Amino acid sequence: MSERIPTLIVGGTGYVAGELLRLVAGHPQLELHGVSSETAAGTLVSAAFPHLAPLLKTEGFITQADLVARMTAPRMALLAAAPHAVSAGVVATLLQAAKTRQCELTVVDVSSDFRFRNPVDFQAVYKTPHGAPELLPLFTCALPEHVSGIPGPHIGHPGCFATSMLAGIVPLLKLELCEPRIQACGITGSTGAGRTPTPTTHHPERHSNLFAYNPLRHRHAPEVVQICAQLTGTAPELNFVPHSGPFARGIHMTLQAQLKTPLTSDELRDRLAGFYAGCEFVRVVDSLPRVKDVAGSNYCHIGVESAGNSVAVMVTIDNLIKGAAGGAVQWMNRLLGFSETAGLDAPAPGWI
């Protein structure tokens, strides 16, 4: 357990990469060995992320070619946060370089590129061919709470909205509690849209505002349906309406469905708590979950209420941590044989 694994990060200047850098810098067994950004190469990490200066005083961004040159250890980790439809090509290049250098490289990718098993499905959603379809069989996409052991050599982490939906939908379907028609309404913070401002993410547009976008057409919906089918044997009819919220971090997801057999709220809480027994980062709470109770942490809170045959499941997560960087590190911990909670068990600050 004293082993420290040299860790590489790609896609270095985005919000998710910033969280990966923070988590790795404070991790007891992962050791930052290089972070690449083609646009920021040669500049200090602290210039892009001033809040990380105390942890990464002299660390600078390098190119992907420099990253390859640093593949000198027999065993290394790669956390990939490159843009969607770009990451696959980068990961393919680095895996080939690792093979040439006889380096065992374990990959967890947080882009969309390894979430679908079939490149045709990826192209249907993202309107571009997959960058490395030959690698898809090597990647598993699921929440670590829903798959036991090590399902394969590499992981494609589900998206942030997908994480919040899967946390509630998978147990409902796996326990055969509800009919497979689910209504989902999710509200996300502005960091979910990435670092580059747009007309709908610019602060004056989101402050004191709330609006839907891509209703019934969001790209995470087919991702969730496919993962549910793989894990539960049921492909739900999922009607998802995402919303932009006036806060920076967090997701609040409400899922509604019809129960197969009427159950009280307490009975449903007991069933869900039993499903997640032993899962440190998922907590079924007695009250209704709130974003501030999880923002800034890797924890997921789930609340449930029923009335007759209707059930509403509320899920809150931090989109950047449990929905991306934290979930990725959680998976990496397992793949490398570390405690799944290593570097992740800090509670939410509470007043973000």
Taking a C-beta distance cutoff of 8 angstroms, is the pair 9, 27 a contact? no
Q: Is residue 338 part of a domain?
A: no
Residues 226 and 170 reside in one and the same domain: yes
Give me the CATH number covering residue 54.
Answer: 3.40.50.720
315: phi then psi, degrees, rounded to nearest 5: -130, 135
Residues 15 and 108 reside in one and the same domain: yes
Q: Is residue 254 part of a domain?
A: yes
Residues 44 and 173 reside in one and the same domain: no
Residues 219 and 112 reside in one and the same domain: no
Give me the CATH number covering residue 220.
Answer: 3.30.360.10
Residues 107 and 171 reside in one and the same domain: no
CA 343 vs CA 29, 303, 326, 337: distances in Å: 8, 26, 9, 14
Residue where a domain stops, chosen among 77, 108, 140: 140
**Which tens digit of pLDDT belongs to each residue from 197-219?**
777 777 788 889 999 999 999 99
Mean of the per-residue pLDDT values of the chain? 95
**Which tens digit of pLDDT belongs to each residue from 268-322?**
999 999 999 999 999 999 999 999 999 999 999 999 999 999 999 999 999 999 9
Q: Is residue 341 part of a domain?
A: no
Q: Is residue 199 part of a domain?
A: yes
What is the pTM (predicted TM-score) of this model? Answer: 0.96
Domain that holds residue 309: 160-319
Number of residues written out for the chain? 352
Per-residue DSSP letter, 348: P
Distance of CA 77 to the CA centre of its chain: 17
Residues 270 and 309 reside in one and the same domain: yes
Q: Is residue 328 part of a domain?
A: no
Q: Which residues are catalytic?
A: 160
Which residue in this structure is represented by tokens 């890797």?
298
Label the pairing between strands 300-307 and 211-212.
unpaired
295: phi then psi, degrees, rounded to nearest 5: -60, 130
Is the predicted pLDDT of residue 1 greater than 60, yes or no?
no
Closest listed residue to residue 2, CA positions, set 29, 33, 24: 29
Residues 281 and 182 reside in one and the same domain: yes
Residues 165 and 272 reside in one and the same domain: yes
Residues 134 and 229 reside in one and the same domain: no
Residues 132 and 165 reside in one and the same domain: no
Q: Which residues contact 275 (CB under 8 A, 6 or more apart)?
A: 171, 174, 175
Residues 164 and 123 reside in one and the same domain: no
How many domains are there within the chain?
A: 2
Residues 202 and 93 reside in one and the same domain: no
**Which tens digit of pLDDT belongs to each residue from 113-156?**
999 999 999 999 999 999 999 999 999 999 999 999 999 999 99
